[in-house]
Amino acid sequence: MDKNASPKSTVTGGLTTPQTDDGRRAREQIKSVGIIGAGQMGTGIAHVVSLSGYDVVMADLARDRFDAAMAATDKNMARQVAKGRITEADKATAMKRIGYVAKVDDLASCDLVIEAATENEAVKKKIFADFAPKLKKGALLASNTSSISITRLAACTDRPEAFIGMHFMNPVPVMELVELIRGIATDDVTFSLARGFVETLGKTIAVSEDFPAFIVNRILLPMINEAVYTLYEGVGTVEAIDKAMRLGANHPMGPLELADFIGLDTCLSVMQVLYEGLADSKYRPCPLLVKYVEAGWLGKKTKRGFYDYRGEKPVPTR
């Protein structure tokens, strides 16, 4: 294709997406996508992938998590229909494309498998080490990790050259960006197919080197951690800190509210990866963040974090 020519477009799931050579190859080679984990991120990924015309199979030990994922997807797609972004027919077709299996091994026939399990390196390594040898030859593996070394995760598999980081932003149906991260062994074919696949989802790509927390979280999480230190040291209350950043820095959401939305356990995990991976004291997780996680106050998903979400309106907890 002429590099100066505009790429052709295709309409998938009500979305107009660029059709580059990489995108065409991705459409030809990737028909079914497996997703490991039916949590918040896995649910969002399944939403955009099914809406873009791919068959999706979600693997999760808990059937009730898959049922909750489907209910959330139905609700979120209904919101898109109401806004005129997709049609009712698009929604119905996309929902039918999503299936469920209880065992990760049942994803062995997929062309691409995206891991979206908890942000814990030991958990991810075990999943990949157990599952990768059972995945069909030629299939790609991707991790949605937001911070962990792609090179280390790939080394646990039988196909490090076919392994890549594919970090979607939360909430996946709304956020435009996907970070692509190559491990040291990731080959050019894998990178091109992954890039083409993401393009067919209508997302924008930022390519990151394989350093702790990549680009977005390398910048975002230390800011959130500093906001927690500001609270810990008594510089301001939860309400004051969030108000200051919303109105003083024009952020759409205050850093402590955002931390609750991300999940305080995830925030802590990313900070620990940065602290251990870069050996710099500026990345030390705030003791107050550690304390909230120890208490099980993980944010919106547990109804308590820096805000208490159990009533009609969120109420600051400090």
Three-state secondary structure readout of the chain? CCCCCCCEEEEECCEEEEECHHHHHHHHHCCEEEEECCCHHHHHHHHHHHHCCCEEEEECCCHHHHHHHHHHHHHHHHHHHHCCCCCHHHHHHHHHCEEEECCHHHHCCCCEEEECCCCCHHHHHHHHHHHHHHCCCCCEEEECCCCCCHHHHHCCCCCHHHEEEEEECCCCCCCCEEEEEECCCCCHHHHHHHHHHHHHCCCEEEEECCCCCCCHHHHHHHHHHHHHHHHHCCCCCHHHHHHHHHHHCCCCCCHHHHHHHHCHHHHHHHHHHHHHHHCCHHHCCCHHHHHHHHCCCCEHHHCECCEECCCCCCEECC
> Is the pTM here over 0.85, yes or no?
yes
The pLDDT of residue 212 is 95
Q: What is the pLDDT of the chain when averaged over all its residues?
A: 93
- Higher-confidence residue of 11 and 244: namely 244
Domain ranges across the chain: 8-208, 218-316
Active-site residue list: 146, 167, 179, 217
129-149: pLDDT as tens digits:
999 999 999 999 999 999 999
pLDDT at 8 over 70: no
Find the mean pLDDT for residues 83-100: 97
Q: Please report the pLDDT score of residue 19 as a whole number.
A: 66
| Architecture of domain 8-208 in this structure | 3-Layer(aba) Sandwich (3.40)
User: Do the domains 218-316 and 8-208 match in fold?
Assistant: no
Q: Domain 218-316: give its CATH code.
A: 1.10.1040.10
